[in-house]
Structure 1
Amino acid sequence: MGYIEDLRALVGTRALILTGVTVLVIDQNNRFLMVQSDEMWKLPGGFIELGES
């Protein structure tokens, strides 16, 4: 389990304030970059885990 999951287990359903990032990469033909994850297409981004570089 990661840091965010551990934190969620401690606080339950209370709101968490987390820092995350999403990027929008557009090429010269106005196409944008997406990544496939869990059979879904998403914008690249996410959270960093404690100790992750």
Structure 2
Amino acid sequence: EDGDPSHGIKKHGLAQALKDANWVVNHSHPPQSPDINLIEAIWNIIKQRLRR
């Protein structure tokens, strides 16, 4: 969906069609948002347990 021509989706309009059909929901969070970047929380738990 980032417009890279190698993905081939933009020319078919598939991403937009799925959004229009409510199959894909676009969340307005940046990719580094801590509330959706769960792997960071998991790594923090692992690090805390290893330090004990």
- Scaled by the length of structure 1, the TM-score of the pair is 0.21
The structure whose RCO (Cα within 8 Å, separation 6+) is larger is: 1
TM-score (norm 2): 0.22
Q: Whose radius of gyration is greater, 1 or 2?
A: 2
Greater fraction of residues in helix:
2
| More strand per residue | 1
